[in-house]
Structure 1
Amino acid sequence: MRGKLERQASMLTLIGPEQRVPRDHPIRRIKLLADRELQRLSPVFESMYSGTGRPSIPPEIILKACLLIALFSIRSERQFCERLDYDLMFRFFLDMGMTEESFDASTFSKNKERLIRADVARLFFEGVVRQAKEAKLISAEHFTVDGTLIEAWASMKSFKKKGAKDNEPPDDPGNPTIDFHGEKRANATHESSTDPDARLARKGAGKEAKLALSGHVLMENRNGLCIDISISHADGTAERREALRMLQRQKRKGFSPATLGADKGYDTADFVHDVFVEGVVPHVARKRKHSNVDARQARQIGYRHSQRCRKKVEEIFGWMKTVGGLRKTRYRGVERTQLCAYFTGAAYNLLRLSRLLGSAA
């Protein structure tokens, strides 16, 4: 029998966002892990704000909103605020009621500087890693490092000579015609007027050069969790330089790295030597000619195992770029992109932890 539309709306309801989210939905486990870490950061939040004045949007809501933007591939902060008006799952995750007003997108930009000064994003990311370590889901000895290019939010037309002034008015103020064909451009002589931190770079031979930042990830080999993430200027030595910095940071945090896997881009004499100096065995993929990795080492079982595990780091980059929105940064500069990268890395780890802990239970 065909049902009929009921045009009359309910006058009273006793249901909230929590009842509309399925009991077995992964967002419940992610929320539990995120709330646990935000509770630890409560003293940090207390020190960020004045004791007087008008109450702000709780910083916990801002941080969890950044996680939702990464988890659900939200295109922008403005789009997130629009979706928050009607998405009950988002309201459940942010502990907001059915009738509570959504906040404006300017809330993100007003609080971003405060988050950067307090280094909250890094603390939250490291707290999620700590939870994984406490659950014994992290290898403390075997790691993999890799890097990628993150396209900058800047047009190639903005890449101009340093100190150059153009007195001629543009033919189109919104999209002026700029002919740079035949002009030799380099990072030493040119810079972007939109994002001065962006550098002209390309991933490999035969690839087109783009204005980009350099992203770096340190992964543990047991479950493929992201242990550290770093954003830097894109130059020829950024990947190897940041790899050593991340390795040294993990040693200061109590990890005891024994091996470090990497692709052929890290097969250089200085990097292999510097890793050995740190007391770590470099399981770097060997170049076909003139490799700096000992051939005897490449025949060991541990080396071959590291080479198989290191490919899992591409899953991190794949998720962050296709789902987390880090293929092209939404922000200008290394500092703000680093803030976004910490939240994206934390979102990836929380998603992985929700599955690992769920299967363990």
Structure 2
Amino acid sequence: MMCAIRAGRRGRSVTVLDHAAAPGEKIRISGGGRCNFTNINAGPKNFLSANPHFAKSALARFTPQDFIAMVERYGIAWHEKTLGQLFCDESAKDIIRMLVDEMRSASVDLRLRTEIASVERHGDGFRIHASDGPIDATSLVIASGGKSIPKMGASGFAYRIAEQFSLPVVETRPGLVPLTIEPSLLQRLTPLSGIAAPAEIRHGKTSFREALLFTHRGLSGPAILQISSYWREGDEISIGIEPDIDVFERLKAARQANGRQSAQTALAEILPKRLAQHVVEAEEMDGNMADQSDKRLQRLAASVQDWRIKPSGSEGYRTAEVTLGGIDTACLDSRSMQVKTIPGLFFIGECVDVTGWLGGYNFQWAWASGHVAGEAA
């Protein structure tokens, strides 16, 4: 939609083909229905790619402030949550209406419920065999996203087109996705399902501080979703619950203040009660606080703030918010998103090997890559 708007404003004759029944379905469900439409901190550092510099050009040429200006022009009320995340006050549908109105004013032809049978090179351009007949075009932009959330119509269409034109594709896998844990540990953690707590999740040199959520399948919450994009099967992650609290010092203070209380009671002053109970039972810590040595309290604190775990996998594309990997950026011009060896062919958005953090970054990449392609297509 962003690409179509910009190309239409340039006087190009633009047709958007969408197999969905309504435009912008992933926008509609995003941000709990409020659409986390950008992040004011968006920059290359917030994206994963085999080429970390590739996103710089597009992100610099269409910034979060540019999208905010469009939102405000339409009178859409918005607010900032934590960490620079911007949401609609009312509904994600406001963003969809804005983009559809922009396309209409740019004379863009939007065709919904349109299936693509095949794409082929035709003279100096392309022929698209669609369910409502063939279309010839001098420029073709593939903006079909990745594999995440297939129930919303996501597919590997873009990768199939890339393969058809002999373009390299970086291995794809689910990103921003809950992690699962092996059955025996999951059984022990099942009573914690639904508990959330502030946490720092670490993988190698990468760490995120946001909420952790225990689920009936494993671990979720923003901190887990963030680290999942860096985690690989077989890797270990470290979880530090309540990272802004020195748990060991708090436990020592509790021992001095009331040595007759149990370790579970003392820990429940810091953690949710069920979580405190689980940690103390896992450490087999009996007796009152007065009975606990510094060494035992340190071990208890470590089990809270340096819990090492090796996830067994992820929930996959079914719940993944994005697809990691994609069309290799080495074959694209970063200024236009055009395939270097095939004039007129462009790939933009999630199908490209550029994946943002959680929090509005992937939408900003969609707006930015769409805008620059629209200026060139």
TM-score calculated relative to the size of structure 1: 0.26
Higher strand share: 2
TM-score (norm 2): 0.25
Larger RCO (CA under 8 A, 6+ residues apart): 2
Give the structure with the larger helix fraction.
1
